[in-house]
Structure 1
Amino acid sequence: MMKLIFSSPWVCRLGVALCVAPAISTAAASSGPSAWVLERVTVVDVKTGNLSPGMSLLIEGGKIARIASAASIARGSDIVRVDGAGRFVVPGYLDMHAHPLNAPDPRPSLKLMLSNGITGYRQMSGSPELLRARQEKKLEFDDSPALLAMPGTILTDALAPTPDAARGQVKKQKADGADFIKTVGLSSANFYAAGAEAQAQGLPYVGHMNMDVDVRQAARVMRSIEHLGPMEVMLLGCSSEEPAIRDGMAHAHVEPPQIGPPSTPQAQAAIARMIANPAMNVKPHQFANMRRVIDSFDATRCGELARELIKDGAWQAPTLIRLRTMELADDPAYRGDANLRFMPVPVQQMWRELSAQFGQRISQVDRDTYRRFFALQLRFVKLLQDSGVPLLAGSDAGGSIWVVPGFSLHQEFDLLEAAGLTPLQVLQSATINGARFLGREAHLGSVEAGRTADLVLLDDNPLGSVANLHRIAGVVRSGHYYDAPALHRLQATALP
């Protein structure tokens, strides 16, 4: 029967071999009725923005079997009925940039994600061990979103120090079962070698660009660009001074700090802090370049860049919440966030220490630069959306400073709204866009017959206000229904 439920560990994110998710495999959810009906709801068409009130959804075998007017679905005595009168049904939210599986025990993070309406996620860092665990079905958990895609170990210059090594790593990860290749900080020659090999192997190539990589050339091999670059690497393409700035950065590649073997506790702690906020390690000349990029922003050049991104099929996962928590890490609102209680105490302590150090290590002038730069990043996202560049909602949950799993995707919704996106566009970035990116539009991302029953039940019209995306009355995950009290219980079990 189908379940009807009613009323620092984060060093592993690097995909280091020693970091493996626990060998925990949970059985499928307990069974319930063979069929049930969610009735008298308004169905939201995320493709068109149309609303269909007074509808009922027949759920069978974890799928939406039928959608029809409430009066037309037979009221058999053996069918459980959930009354959704006055509520709105949207597809389950997809977090398209997250790292929950790199925690020693991912279950609390996954529960927080599901309790916030996230029914699927793209895991953005992996390892041979994680890929093997997935093949052995050891990454299937109760009360969890679906794992939609996962890479092998993130490609860095340390792992792939030459073009030949980069190509070899791509081939190995293909053999290991990776769904895509993730790159972070690869220098130019290694970056393009890995990208070309990924294309040859039929694997999407995604991730970060180093400063010696030109975004226009990178877009030809990248399927998705994460974090808007990150930093100024992408916005440099919108600068009227790009040639001069790029000439001055010709030798700007900086190797990551050498902090010793990752097996030592000291090195693990150093890596965790570096991951939490790399914006604390930006050098003075980089701030100077950032100011030049801000002051020379050219909307016309930016529009030309957007058209090239569209032509090359380079999607964008801005993760604005991750950018803001890095660049505005000393915002007092983060230290007072009630949702910090869901994070382990050592993680909370580390984040608070890093926030205090941010104000000490980054000058007032440079903190002002970060604030101006974040405002420009918001403007850039709006320009991308208006130009037709497809966007993916993602939170980067899994070690980033102030980013709490589940809740952070809702913060992303608010920041996308602050950038100027409409409620429908925000909803699309978290639903149908992710399904299209993954090539799984026939299975998820919309409320249609035949789709997996991954749904969010909202108290008010999500097309009227982004705030209504937060007003979750219930979640359906693979046909299993969780009402609001059940979601609250999930959160309670996720407390450390």
Structure 2
Amino acid sequence: MSRYVEPSMVNGRVLVRDVTVVDPLDGRGTPGQDVVVEGNRITSVTATGAPAAGAHVVEGRGRCVVPGLMDMHTHALNTPEDVDGTYALMLANGVVGFRQMSGNRALLKSRSQGTLPRPTGAPALKATAGDLLTPLNASTAEGAVRAVREQHRDGADFVKAGMTTRETFLAALREANRLGIRLGGHLPADLDPREAARAGVWSIEHLGPGVTVFAAASSKESEIRAGSPARKLPPIPRVRIPGADRLAMKLIKGMVTNPATSTSEGEAHAYGLADGSYDQQKAEELAALFVEHTTWQCPTLIRVHTQQFGDSPEHTEDPRRRYMAPEELRTWDKSAKKFARLPGVTRNALHNHWAAQLRMTRTFADAGVPMVAGTDACGAAGIIPGFALHDEFGHLAEAGLEPLTILRMTTTEPARFLGEEGEFGRVAPGMPADLVLLDEDPLRSHTALRTIAGVMRDGSWWSRADLDAVVERVAAKPGAH
């Protein structure tokens, strides 16, 4: 059950009638289609005819249907005991699945035992890591190898590098490749992204983060790398003790809320130097290397924007904050005040870097670098679960990406990214009954993805009126994280 989402009365056999079916794979919209769902699967997609006997009918005339949306970078299960509000906002925004970017042994065990919370309308957990690689469990190459082995043993889908060095990152990556488990995440400041790509890294999050990817597209690369200071890490204990993972997460929570609040003068200088010496040819060469090695990117532009404009009213006065748990907002507000105290030159460097991030995203897209959409929701300041994915679409469009590219990044590309191509991400017979009905055409504009007329999750249908009631219940008792 859910505190916010009432069970749907429309399930079993459902007909979405006379709708335009949008296929992200071939980029076409086919009007006049009947989509029939039975249970949790699509059973047929045919030209509109007589209503299916015994089916609940959802009128689709003049509307478009797309596969349910995927958020490929979230932390929803950082609070597994209280995911209801977050999941409700995801449902209301058409988000039917996600990749959990920080896990632990207890989370992996709960998943294997089938005891993870699953309130009404909950999205599907498509993949999860175990513990982040940090100085707590990966302070040495040997420790990094041991951590990868433990996560592989415990059933993690991938390993996420959080706070590592070149030595520990590459040691973990070699072991992950040997075991056949994917590794992605944050590149350390002293690691060349080209080396990471050639070594087989699965994904790079947040365009780095930091300056390392941008240094590779600079005419002053050697100068930037020589002068780039390593980010100082919080004092995480390195002794393996019971509950150490929870202690580590508590210690780094303040920084994770907005890492930009700890930007040093040296880092700010490195951003300015990289942005002022941008070399388009080098950027395209880097993109070609990522294509060659299938090095996925999850830009999370909404995350980097909330970081680099941490005290902007756009985020601190966002009316959608009314959905967030009060303790979450207190943490965000504390972080915003800390950001405002940064030196003006540092804040300017962070603001100016935004244009470079948009340019890099466009360069990657134009080159065909594989990319998925993600938000870093749940724990990151200023990011509203569910709604944030649509914010991400807006920033991707600002970077110059086409509507079809954006649609693919949240539907078919996540399936390919997770090695489940053909298993989800299309409106076709045999696919999961996870659908979003839109009032506008998403092939014309990314903004159409906001015009949600209804959502089907696992065969159950919620109309626009139902979804509006969901978000109002969340607002009445704010509980999203």
TM-score by structure 2 length? Answer: 0.92
* Pair 1:281 & 2:262 matched: yes
Q: 2:388 maps to what in 1? A: 408
Aligned pair in 2 of structure 1 residues 30, 51: CA closer, same or farther (>3 Å)? closer
* Pair 1:341 & 2:322 matched: yes
Distance in 2 separating the partners of 1:264 and 1:65: 44
Offset of residue 61 of structure 1: 2.4
Residue deviations 1:457-483 (CA, integer Å, cap 9, x gap): 001111111111101001111111111
* Pair 1:470 & 2:450 matched: yes
Q: 2:253 aligns with which of 256, 259, 272?
A: 272
Distance in 1 separating the partners of 2:58 and 2:293: 45
Distance in 2 separating the partners of 1:156 and 1:286: 20
Offset of residue 316 of structure 1: 0.1
Q: Which moved more, 1:219-228 or 1:92-101?
A: 219-228
Q: 2:304 maps to what in 1? A: 323
Q: Which moved more, 1:255-264 or 1:182-191?
A: 255-264
* Pair 1:304 & 2:285 matched: yes
Distance in 1 separating the partners of 2:130 and 2:98: 16
Q: 1:102 maps to what in 2? A: 78
Structure 2, unpaired ranges of 5+: none
1:42 and 1:88 in contact (8 A); partners too: yes
Aligned pair in 2 of structure 1 residues 324, 158: CA closer, same or farther (>3 Å)? same
Offset of residue 39 of structure 1: 0.5
Distance in 2 separating the partners of 1:272 and 1:42: 45
Offset of residue 265 of structure 1: 11
Residue type at the aligned position of 1:462: P
Residue type at the aligned position of 1:219: A
Offset of residue 259 of structure 1: 6.6
Distance in 2 separating the partners of 1:248 and 1:268: 29
Residue type at the aligned position of 2:391: Q
Q: 2:62 maps to what in 1? A: 86
Residue deviations 1:44-83 (CA, integer Å, cap 9, x gap): 1111221101111010121111101111xx4354222111
Residue type at the aligned position of 1:435: A
Structure 1 stretches of at least 4 aligned residues deviating more than 4 Å after TM superposition: 28-33, 259-270
Q: Which moved more, 1:199-208 or 1:267-276?
A: 267-276
Q: 1:39 maps to what in 2? A: 17
**Percentage of pairs with the same residue:** 37
Aligned pair in 2 of structure 1 residues 201, 222: CA closer, same or farther (>3 Å)? same
Distance in 1 separating the partners of 2:11 and 2:379: 39
Matched position secondary structure for 1:334? helix
Matched position secondary structure for 2:25? coil
Matched position secondary structure for 2:181? coil
Matched position secondary structure for 1:219? helix
Distance in 2 separating the partners of 1:289 and 1:490: 45
Q: 1:187 aligns with which of 148, 161, 165?
A: 165
Distance in 2 separating the partners of 1:264 and 1:121: 23
Aligned pair in 2 of structure 1 residues 166, 268: CA closer, same or farther (>3 Å)? closer
Indicate the RMSD between aligned Cα atoms, in angstroms: 2.2
Distance in 1 separating the partners of 2:70 and 2:55: 29
| Aligned pairs for 1:447-486 within 5 A | 447-486=427-466
2:8 and 2:461 in contact (8 A); partners too: no
Q: Which moved more, 1:202-211 or 1:271-280?
A: 271-280
1:322 and 1:396 in contact (8 A); partners too: yes
Distance in 2 separating the partners of 1:266 and 1:131: 18
Residue deviations 1:142-197 (CA, integer Å, cap 9, x gap): 21110000011011122112112111111111110100010012111111010011
Residue type at the aligned position of 1:38: V
Q: 1:212 aligns with which of 166, 182, 190?
A: 190
Distance in 1 separating the partners of 2:448 and 2:379: 28
Distance in 2 separating the partners of 1:167 and 1:31: 50
* Pair 1:231 & 2:214 matched: no
